[in-house]
Structure 1
Amino acid sequence: MSYLDPRAGRAPGDDTNVPAPYSRHPQQTPQPWPPQEHTPPTWPPATSQGWQPEQRPEPQRPEAQLPEAQTDAAIEELPITEQPVAPRGAKGRRRAGRGQKGGKSRAGRNLPAAIGVGVSLGLVVLASLLIERRALLAVLVAAAGVGVWEMTKALTGSGAKVPLIPLVAGSALMTGLAWYEGPDALLIGLLVTIGAASLWSLADGVSAVRRDFTATVLTAVYVPFLLSFAAMLVQPDDGAFRVICTLVAVVLSDTGGYAAGVFLGRHPMAPKISPKKSWEGFAGSLTAAAIGSGALLFFLLDVPVYWGLLFGAAISVVAVLGDLAESMLKRDLGIKDMSNLLPGHGGLMDRLDSILFAVPTAYLLFSIILPS
């Protein structure tokens, strides 16, 4: 039987791989026939509940919230960098200058009330100057007494014990001595007032002597002593015009600084003391006071224009310093206004802060410009 006959059985050695002669390729292991079907893997892998993508929580941005305990007044007094900002779309968020109620201006004042009170005070002072000059003495005594009351109230709230009665009596004494006797008598009145207030405090049995004595001296010097220079400023024949020029310079400085600060203010002047004051507002104060005083002193007192410009610039500088000094004092005491006596202004000391520094400066400048 031929070995090619399929009916023949398998011979020994039939499964042995024998390389083919003269072949370039190695002998390959024969694959089973027919080939097995290849099933590709499924993706994503099936589960008993079906395929579910991995759930990752989306990051949430924290939303700024306004503190519930802060009022609008407290927020206005914060520095610019510390004022909370409501999130976009939150209730109560609005653009500045829109939807404001109560007649408040962009600087936070109740503008109609402030204008009304300011005009009324100006008319009282003007009438006392032009109608009866001795009435100005009564106005000064009353203003000094109210200012001392506001100062003692604010200092007492901080823990100091300041005797009110001897300081009010001393303020009347200093104003009267300055009116009738001049600067030397004013110094004597200051010493008498401090001595009487110190004896009153000792009789009252104070514990913190240094603190109470410092607060007493501050009140006596800051309010009645500085304000008494107005009583000496009005004594010359043209004294009424000197007082008017001084007050107008302060008003122009305040108005020019307010307008320039609201519309042009970009660079804070003293953010830790008074966040609303800016260098642009200070430039507006200086310009308005200098130009206005140059014209006013020329027409009312026949003073050269350059002296008027210098006078207005000096009054503007000390007026701004007086405002900053009281702002620093109020921040140290933790109060916004000295009192709520004057609507739109706060207390009387909130209006006298600039004048208290301006009056002694005007007295010294007029003694040089117009020596009597």
Structure 2
Amino acid sequence: MGAESGTGATAAKPSRAGRNLPVAIGVGLGLGVVIVGCLVLFRQGFLVIIAAAIGAALWELRGTLAAARGIRLAWIPVALGSVATVVLAWPYGHRAQVVGMAVTALVVLAWRFAGGASGYLVDVAASFFALVYLGLFASFAALLVAPPDGSRRVLVFLICVVCSDTGGYAAGALLGRHPMAPRISPKKSWEGFVGSLVVAGVGGALSLSLLLHRPWWEGAVVGVVLAVVATTGDLAESLIKRDLGVKDMGTLLPGHGGIMDRLDSLLPSAVVSWILLSLFVPLP
């Protein structure tokens, strides 16, 4: 996700971002329908989607780290601990987050004993990173959906991030001339970043006022902040992939890459969304 520069492409060819745009749009719309359907019809189903995404992302990360650097991710305890933390965050809130992360970290330390001393610190550090990045960050999405108006809170969060991505791509493709971070992601432009800010601000203003009945300016603040956070998450993921020497973290989503490639802006944005909406929108 994020703002990318370029001049567009025909429907039959990959975009300047290196994606098959029609396929990417189709997959994105399909995922959106499933997520919105769960939020509208059965909120608890959103937890199932989060848990499935975490498991798939960890499987991808396990294979990528092993192939690129020989790092042995303790993916089984991290997956179980992350999913348990996400599910239990609904009824138990921050207590579930603290206990889930702490207990899983202890299990990871012991789980890696069987591999011996060689590479122990690197393997454990990578596992801790995955635990925080996937498990802890995703648990804030569970906190978002837990209140009675949780479906609308999650929709505001998703609308802002999607608007940031869409605005950044469109502005970058049409107007992008000045690279934003050429050593990290050469196709991202300052023009695309401005597009992310503007469209996410508008999306936030509309969604917060219509869905949660708050002043439009609060929604604009939420949208602009989430555009910054989403772009930062995207750049961080780009650095991780450059460090590992890979283009994508996986291939599970046609036109998008892997699950990790779609979570790059969503995960940190879930944390900040919960913080901002907790400040702006009183619990019912």
Aligned to 1:148: 58
Amino acid at match of 1:308: G
Is the Cα contact below 8 Å between 1:148 and 1:224 reproduced in 2?
no
Aligned to 2:247: 336
Residue 363 of structure 1 is aligned with which of 274, 279, 284?
274
Structure 1 position 206, deviation (Å): 4.3
Tell me whether 1:174 sits opposite 2:80 in the alignment. Answer: no
Aligned to 2:159: 248
Aligned to 2:96: 185
Residues in 1 aligned to 2:245 and 2:225: alpha-carbon distance in whole angstroms: 30
SS at 1:228's partner residue?
A: helix
Aligned to 2:221: 310
Residues in 2 aligned to 1:365 and 1:225: alpha-carbon distance in whole angstroms: 17
Residues in 2 aligned to 1:106 and 1:231: alpha-carbon distance in whole angstroms: 35
Amino acid at match of 1:201: R
Tell me whether 1:110 sits opposite 2:20 in the alignment. Answer: yes
Aligned to 1:235: 146
Residues in 2 aligned to 1:259 and 1:182: alpha-carbon distance in whole angstroms: 38
Structure 1 position 353, deviation (Å): 0.6
Residue 123 of structure 1 is aligned with which of 28, 33, 52?
33
Structure 1 position 171, deviation (Å): 1.6
Tell me whether 1:225 sits opposite 2:163 in the alignment. Answer: no
Structure 1 position 213, deviation (Å): 1.5
Tell me whether 1:262 sits opposite 2:173 in the alignment. Answer: yes
Is the Cα contact below 8 Å between 1:340 and 1:346 reproduced in 2?
yes
Amino acid at match of 2:249: M
Residues in 2 aligned to 1:326 and 1:211: alpha-carbon distance in whole angstroms: 19
Structure 1 position 107, deviation (Å): 2.9
Residues in 2 aligned to 1:320 and 1:300: alpha-carbon distance in whole angstroms: 25
Q: Percent of pairs identical after alignment?
A: 48
Residues in 2 aligned to 1:250 and 1:147: alpha-carbon distance in whole angstroms: 19
Change (3 A) 1:203 1:315: same
Deviations 1:28-58, CA, capped at 9 Å, x for gaps: xxxxxxxxxxxxxxxxxxxxxxxxxxxxxxx
Segments of structure 1 that go 5 or more residues without pairing to the other structure are 1-79, 81-95
Structure 1 position 314, deviation (Å): 0.6
TM-score by length of 2: 0.94
Structure 1 position 97, deviation (Å): 6.6
Is the Cα contact below 8 Å between 2:205 and 2:220 reproduced in 1?
yes
SS at 2:180's partner residue?
A: strand
Structure 1 position 296, deviation (Å): 1.4
Residues in 2 aligned to 1:97 and 1:302: alpha-carbon distance in whole angstroms: 37
Aligned length: 277
Deviations 1:142-199, CA, capped at 9 Å, x for gaps: 1111111112222222121112211111121111221221012211101111111221
Residues in 1 aligned to 2:32 and 2:8: alpha-carbon distance in whole angstroms: 29
Residues in 2 aligned to 1:97 and 1:314: alpha-carbon distance in whole angstroms: 27
Tell me whether 1:133 sits opposite 2:43 in the alignment. Answer: yes
Deviations 1:226-285, CA, capped at 9 Å, x for gaps: 011111101111110110011010000000000111111111111111011010000000
Residues in 1 aligned to 2:223 and 2:245: alpha-carbon distance in whole angstroms: 33
Tell me whether 1:289 sits opposite 2:200 in the alignment. Answer: yes
Deviations 1:1-30, CA, capped at 9 Å, x for gaps: xxxxxxxxxxxxxxxxxxxxxxxxxxxxxx
Residues in 1 aligned to 2:181 and 2:168: alpha-carbon distance in whole angstroms: 14
Residues in 2 aligned to 1:341 and 1:254: alpha-carbon distance in whole angstroms: 20
Change (3 A) 1:175 1:104: same
Is the Cα contact below 8 Å between 1:161 and 1:206 reproduced in 2?
no
Tell me whether 1:324 sits opposite 2:235 in the alignment. Answer: yes
Amino acid at match of 1:269: M
Change (3 A) 1:241 1:202: same
Name which structure has the greater RCO, CA cutoff 8 Å, separation 6+: 2
